[in-house]
Structure 1
Amino acid sequence: MIVRILGEGQWRIEDAVVADLNRLDDEVEQAVGTGDQAELDRALHALLEEVRTQGTTVPDDELSDSDLILPAAGSTLEDVRALLDASDEGLIPG
């Protein structure tokens, strides 16, 4: 699976990592639901860090479609809400 973090690049993620990403995605969704920007910052940081540490960077010269697109670090509640509204399953399906 290829995951893009907006403004940063792409990472190749093994399927076994997706369950951890889903747990962190739930925390992001909860923060957006309660309108808590500080909690969103914490949850989004944890989600993006998991992608960065568990994934393998896709080289810039390798053209690959992204399976998932995650918001950039520092995104606002409105930014993340717009991405969530475009999906029925949160940022990470499954």
Structure 2
Amino acid sequence: MIVRIMGEGQVELADDHFVELNELDDVLLKEMESGDGPGFRTTLHALLDKVRELGSPLPDDSLEPSELILPAPDASLEEVRAMLSDDGLIPN
């Protein structure tokens, strides 16, 4: 699956990594619902770091369609809330 991190680029990520990413996504969703800004920031960075760690970066000139778009590391709680579906950022 091709994942875009806004403002950074794209990575290719194997589907079997999504269980681990969904765990972080679930925590992020709970923190957003409770308004836990510091927790949200920490978990967002952990989620993006995990995507970078597990994924293989695509070349900057690659124009592959992204199947999943994640917010930039400096995105606000409100900006991320606007991107959410009922399942969070990462569909189950």
TM-score, normalisation: structure 1: 0.93
The reply on whether 1:22 has 2:22 as its aligned counterpart is: yes
Q: Which runs of 4+ in 1 moved over 2 A?
A: none
Q: Work out the CA distance in 2 between the residues paired with 1:15 and 1:50.
A: 14
Counterpart in 2 of 1:4?
Answer: 4
Show structure 1 runs of 5+ residues with no match. Answer: none
Paired residue for 1:45? 45
State TM-score, norm by structure 2: 0.95
Q: CA deviation at 1:90?
A: 1.2
Gapped runs of 5+ residues in structure 2? none
1:35-57 Cα distance to aligned partner (Å, 9 max, x none): 11100111001100000000000
Counterpart of 2:13 in structure 1 is 13
Q: Which residue of 1 aligns with 2:91?
A: 93
Number of aligned residues: 92
- Root-mean-square deviation over aligned CA pairs: 0.8
